[in-house]
Structure formats: C-alpha cells, structure tokens
Structure 1
Amino acid sequence: MDTREEAQQFFARFAEDFAAADGALIAQRYGLPYLALDDQGQARLFSETQQIAAYFQQVLDEYFRQGCRTCRFHDLHTQALGAHNLFASLTWELLDEAGQPLLSWCESYVLTRTPAGLLIHSSIDHAD
C-alpha cells in the first residue's frame, strides 16, 4: 500500500470515529507523546492517553454544540518520512446534519507506523 492510500484509510476511519463524539475513541488514533500546535502557535503536549481523550472530548462537545454532526476531509497530501513515519496534510470540513459545511481548516500531521496501525504524534493547524 502506498503512503497516500495508507493515510486515506486512516483519516477515513478517523472521520467515522468523529461522528461518535467520543474523545476516548479519537484518542486511540494518537501515540504518546502527542504534540498539538494551534494556528496561533500555542503548543499542547500530552503524555497520557487520558489527557488526549479529555482534550478531544472538550473539542467534540463544542463542535456538536455548534451543530456539527460529521466531518470530511479533502486535499490529502502525503510524504514518506523513512520506513516508519509519514507526513500528511489535509483540509477538514465540519458538517451539520444536512451535510452542509460549518467550518473548514487545514492541518498537518506526523504519523508513525506501529503494529496496530498508524498513530499521530504531532499535528499543526495552519494559520490563515
């Protein structure tokens, strides 16, 4: 399987999990440690899966309060980073019940191949 197809499958499952609005489920897609950089340059470093789950539960709860029910992605670009890592960049869209976009942003990821599949170790939201 090539890098793009591998990332496509990973993020498609991520989008399916997103609809469950379960931070613990989303946290299973992240490796430790996990570093998140927002579009303002604020860094958050997570060293425990429970921290990641709590963070994403807060994010999901806020998105769902705003009417988001699902998400999708497009413009996926990937690059192998040696044999065990890859870089992926994509555009996310949050969708309401009717499938209409509510919010969109670009994000990039560094992922590691593990026996259990890909895991995200860092992400950065792109500044406008």
Structure 2
Amino acid sequence: MDFEIRPDEFHALLEEVTGRSLTSAAAPRGDQVESTEREVARERYVSDAQVSHGALRESVTTDLSSAHLGLGIAVVVSALAGLSTPAASAFVAGAFAVLFLAALVVVFLRGIRGLDAGRRAYRFAFGWAQWL
C-alpha cells in the first residue's frame, strides 16, 4: 500500500518547497489565449502536475520493512537513553508513541478505519528509517 496525498495537499507542499504557486504560474489565463490554445496549455499543465505528483509520491512512499527498522531503532535508542535514567527512556518511548497516536488520529479523521489505518500511521511514524 502506498502513502496517499491529495492533489490540494501536493500543491500546498510544492508551493511551500519551491516558493511558487502552480496555479498562478502554470495555469493559463482565460482571456489571454484562444480556446484551443487554452485547452492545450491546460492539458500540458495537468500532465506536468501529474508527473510532479507521481515523483513526490514515489519519494515519500515507505513500506512496512522500513517501518519495522524504524521501530527497532526507536526501541534501541529508548533502551540506550534508559542507561542514564529511566525517565529518559520513558521520554523517548513516549515521544514516538505520541507521534504514532497523532498519525493515527489524522488517519481516522480522513475516514480510514481498521488495520489499514494502523498500517498507515505505523508507516508514517516509523517509516523514516528508509532514509538512513
């Protein structure tokens, strides 16, 4: 299962990263071009947006094996933090638990239920290990 991102979320993320808006920079103005040129430009814009969306989706997609590795690293870090004080271990474990629960709440608010919701939250909370 892939991590899903809505087009409006993608546009907001792309605008934040690049500092420019897709709609204002790439979408043609209605009164500035002829009807057929407008259709061609719109098709090109949609095609480019889909390619960009696919590239972003591919870059942030994670799988369960990466999430398992991330959970293992979190457990090891928590155990190492526990060597100094038990409170440090509880703090590290609690931080990861809060991240997982926050992701689970967001997934539930988006209307996803059951095991799929748990898998998505788990991959979000611990899937960062794929970039190590």
Normalising by the smaller structure, the TM-score range is under 0.3
TM-score (norm. length: structure 2): 0.26
Q: Which has the higher strand share?
A: 1
Q: Return the structure number with greater helix share.
A: 2
